[in-house]
Structure 1
């Protein structure tokens, strides 16, 4: 029988091994911590004696000369990155300035010394009161700063305590994004944990052997169909400059998975992109099927021939020049006063602000980011201040405030960073990576994708990102295949850029609510 051929038997056997290895991997993932991990262990918990030595402390808080202490103890605690990834400052999830907190049950802290191994001199620069490091008088909680730890790096804390016996519970409290904080046991104090356990190495070898065997069968058969759903050809993606970084990464992933496809991203602004698509009305069916236009929010240029599909919920933010101090942000009423032209200098809005010209760095009429800003922040009103300068040059027009219109989100961020007193708006993820600008809270809420998706945060400046096509994409078209790819394979890329995919259950509800 044909199905009993040597190739099929080998393929079935290899697949069975792969399934067994996958089951083993599921078990492994349920019992082995995630890749980012901070471990801690108590290396010493002793009553104070005459022979106790603390070594050479690098950083020291409090006094280690406290005579007549009741139940005095010394604890040596080791904090280590024993995961497989480095931990950065932003990986700590604490809402406080400090990253982690050590709690000593029923004991009071009198002093702490921090030591580090050779070769990690950079760690000590983080142990300052300005970084949250310290403890309260008569307190039992030691606040640790957000210390970046490369794989295998660690530091030690020598803590002087009173008021409790040795062996009382000691906990390290805090969280790591995509990781865990947990106690370590069963290893020598200075041992480095292995990158992979024995079980993980065995599973990796089995899976690798399975994949290589199947690959050999496929190559031997000389049968190389493209992945399911791939299409060849050329596609132009235009529209939103705010969403363009996401589309570029999605296009690269698709081209890598689907040979023979060529996707060009030519972002010109949401309105301009949708208008360009609509202008293909007199063109051929092939030309109409070879373009997708992305728009921040529903486009005013779309007509009945265009179809819109919600792709992601985008979060935007007001941005101010780094020298403008707005710690509490602005209310929607204050923003509307600024953009109506009522306020010419910042101290007219708040006497505590400097007497500095208000500079409104805006986008041109083709911008979907500007359209969402007008709809969601300005309550549907157009910006009342006319454009007074091509590049917000204060010397060109002496009227107040000054307003200019730029062609892209990148241009807005650079201009706001350059001009004192400037304020503008941007897609959140692009603003987060820009030097010289500050995010401005609205009605007391800072732009936060996680809070919007998971906590129902009412932050107002957000909108749905739409993909427009000229009618429904024809079967077998690159446009239709690319949109299918975004729905089914693009969630991680969309999330990596700070957007919420509409194809998820929670994201779908948010996209419907904001439609």
Structure 2
């Protein structure tokens, strides 16, 4: 018997190598990483003999004396790691407002400006008594909280230190950046980065490796004499309804199942958790055998009134708050959230943000995501009714102190929050992660994560349940699809969309089909 199997070996390599590459990039190399670039370091005095030099010939100190060998330096500081950087991440004492110091050997700073903020919410970090100073010719930069991918630039005018000499045409020594990040790469230093264009060599090598793996496995598959039908295939028609937040998983799982089982036809018609449960209950009562070819997926447990519907835990779903970047707020306590959504707070300045009116974007009343938000975040209070169709203008006759609008799907809500200044809404985490332009607000300092939810620090989560009308026949397409959704292939799909399979949780109590109180 041939024990060695090429297909298994190639599969293992195809999985292990990308995982190792990802771990290397995002764990060993790309954790918390704050870097800088010297985008310009040029002397302003060597080439000013032109008649067009203008103001460059009059670079002066505050007292009117000309600068010695004036030069300009443009520095870019960027969060190029895999996680966010908070004020507490800077490797300085707690009472030190300065996070980074920049010295220029042989030169002193004559003036500076902070320019090109990648996001407006960075501005307050440089205003007032923030720690931004020039002291003893050294730039002192405050401890700026920076989301992943954000940056700011510092433009400085410098002059040669008295007593220092420099031959014409020679360059000054490069700047020296002093600072560190707790838990950062290596020793936590702030390294100088390089701007790169094109695809990196490691990326090309990894892509080529995966192409070879795929082509080789395809050749093995085509040459194999395997006429057996896929395991656990069922035929017939099946409708999947309910949660729009879980619909992307169902779409991909249905396509994958149909590819393996060509005699099956699965339709995804998600219109909201409550609507899906009602449709399943009606279909079961009207079906001659009481076994409708339908499954309903719900964000959380059903309401009273559907005694024939039986739940089956499928996944642990995290939800998050999304907020328009104009708001200038990224962290809210549960008490502040309740004050925002019940209309007691009407402008983001009341929460330390920008002078922008608060606008609320919610889901329709039959949305499971809305019910989770009301139950887990608003302490069971219901969101008031909509007062606007376009999320910007109040409907005639509406007297709510804030503008509220509702959207029928997760994608529509995300679009509305992104397009409406000062808007805040809520969505399933996997969908929100795909929208880079939408900041995700923390709740009491905690991001949406399995670890935070497991320790009762993050409240906005729920169990994704599949409901059946009574017990399913073991050979039915519905039963086969549920088994498929909870086996390895289905778990991979669930995980890929930001959820976690219930079977993987260390604390199985998190996945529980509880009824509403």
TM-score (norm 1): 0.62
Contact 1:234 1:261 in 2 (8 A): yes
Contact 1:289 1:477 in 2 (8 A): no
Q: Extract unaligned runs of 5+ from structure 2.
A: 26-36, 44-77, 87-102, 106-148, 155-173, 181-186
Contact 2:309 2:467 in 1 (8 A): yes
What residue is the counterpart of 1:365 in the other structure?
Answer: 365
What residue is the counterpart of 2:468 in the other structure?
Answer: 469
2:319 is the alignment partner of 1:332: no
2:501 is the alignment partner of 1:501: yes
Offset of residue 416 of structure 1: 1.6
In the alignment, the residues of structure 2 paired with residue 196 and residue 424 of structure 1 have an alpha-carbon distance, to the nearest angstrom, of 42
How do residues 60-459 of structure 1 correspond to structure 2 at under 5 angstroms? Answer: 92-93=81-82, 95-96=84-85, 130=153, 136-137=177-178, 141-145=189-193, 152-153=200-201, 211=221, 214-215=224-225, 218=226, 224-284=227-287, 288-300=291-303, 303-327=306-330, 329-347=331-349, 349-350=350-351, 352-383=352-383, 385-397=384-396, 399=399, 400-434=401-435, 436-449=437-450, 451-452=451-452, 456=455, 458-459=457-458
In the alignment, the residues of structure 2 paired with residue 281 and residue 194 of structure 1 have an alpha-carbon distance, to the nearest angstrom, of 49
Change over 3 Å in CA distance of 1:396–1:145 after alignment to 2: farther
In the alignment, the residues of structure 2 paired with residue 422 and residue 28 of structure 1 have an alpha-carbon distance, to the nearest angstrom, of 43
2:9 is the alignment partner of 1:34: no
Contact 2:104 2:175 in 1 (8 A): no
In the alignment, the residues of structure 1 paired with residue 479 and residue 389 of structure 2 have an alpha-carbon distance, to the nearest angstrom, of 39
Change over 3 Å in CA distance of 1:134–1:334 after alignment to 2: farther
Offset of residue 322 of structure 1: 2.2
Offset of residue 365 of structure 1: 1.3
| CA deviations over 1:124-145 (Å, ceiling 9, x no partner) | xx998759x9863499845255
Change over 3 Å in CA distance of 1:92–1:142 after alignment to 2: closer
Query: What SS does the corresponding residue of 1:372 show, helix, strand or coil?
Result: helix
Contact 2:326 2:354 in 1 (8 A): no
Contact 1:270 1:295 in 2 (8 A): yes
Change over 3 Å in CA distance of 1:507–1:243 after alignment to 2: farther
In the alignment, the residues of structure 2 paired with residue 486 and residue 413 of structure 1 have an alpha-carbon distance, to the nearest angstrom, of 27
Contact 2:235 2:477 in 1 (8 A): yes
In the alignment, the residues of structure 1 paired with residue 387 and residue 366 of structure 2 have an alpha-carbon distance, to the nearest angstrom, of 18
Most deviating of 284-293 and 462-471: 284-293
Contact 2:313 2:513 in 1 (8 A): no
In the alignment, the residues of structure 2 paired with residue 32 and residue 436 of structure 1 have an alpha-carbon distance, to the nearest angstrom, of 27
In the alignment, the residues of structure 1 paired with residue 313 and residue 207 of structure 2 have an alpha-carbon distance, to the nearest angstrom, of 45
The aligned length equals: 382
Offset of residue 233 of structure 1: 0.9
What residue is the counterpart of 2:511 in the other structure?
Answer: 511
What residue is the counterpart of 1:188 in the other structure?
Answer: none
What residue is the counterpart of 2:91 in the other structure?
Answer: none
Change over 3 Å in CA distance of 1:137–1:16 after alignment to 2: closer
Contact 1:332 1:377 in 2 (8 A): yes
2:482 is the alignment partner of 1:483: yes
Contact 1:17 1:210 in 2 (8 A): no
CA RMSD of aligned residues (A): 4.4
Change over 3 Å in CA distance of 1:392–1:142 after alignment to 2: closer
Offset of residue 358 of structure 1: 2.7
Change over 3 Å in CA distance of 1:144–1:285 after alignment to 2: farther
Change over 3 Å in CA distance of 1:298–1:94 after alignment to 2: closer
Contact 2:327 2:348 in 1 (8 A): no
| CA deviations over 1:140-166 (Å, ceiling 9, x no partner) | 845255977876538xxxxxxxxxxxx
Offset of residue 305 of structure 1: 0.8
Change over 3 Å in CA distance of 1:272–1:208 after alignment to 2: closer
Contact 1:314 1:500 in 2 (8 A): yes
Query: What SS does the corresponding residue of 1:229 show, helix, strand or coil?
Result: coil
Contact 1:233 1:260 in 2 (8 A): yes
Offset of residue 430 of structure 1: 1.4
| CA deviations over 1:24-60 (Å, ceiling 9, x no partner) | 987999899934566xxxxxxxxxxxxxxxxxx9968
Most deviating of 386-395 and 472-481: 386-395
Contact 1:346 1:355 in 2 (8 A): yes
In the alignment, the residues of structure 2 paired with residue 233 and residue 365 of structure 1 have an alpha-carbon distance, to the nearest angstrom, of 33
Change over 3 Å in CA distance of 1:276–1:306 after alignment to 2: same
| CA deviations over 1:368-391 (Å, ceiling 9, x no partner) | 0000001100111212x3322334
Offset of residue 447 of structure 1: 1.8
Offset of residue 110 of structure 1: 9.0
What residue is the counterpart of 1:18 in the other structure?
Answer: 5
Offset of residue 339 of structure 1: 1.9
What residue is the counterpart of 1:460 in the other structure?
Answer: 459
Contact 1:463 1:514 in 2 (8 A): no
Offset of residue 404 of structure 1: 2.3
Query: What SS does the corresponding residue of 1:288 show, helix, strand or coil?
Result: coil
Contact 2:326 2:356 in 1 (8 A): no
What residue is the counterpart of 2:58 in the other structure?
Answer: none
Contact 1:361 1:424 in 2 (8 A): yes
In the alignment, the residues of structure 1 paired with residue 374 and residue 150 of structure 2 have an alpha-carbon distance, to the nearest angstrom, of 45
What residue is the counterpart of 1:492 in the other structure?
Answer: 492
Query: What SS does the corresponding residue of 1:323 show, helix, strand or coil?
Result: helix
Offset of residue 275 of structure 1: 0.8
In the alignment, the residues of structure 1 paired with residue 252 and residue 509 of structure 2 have an alpha-carbon distance, to the nearest angstrom, of 25
Contact 2:327 2:421 in 1 (8 A): yes
| CA deviations over 1:422-444 (Å, ceiling 9, x no partner) | 22111112122236532111111
Query: What SS does the corresponding residue of 1:341 show, helix, strand or coil?
Result: coil
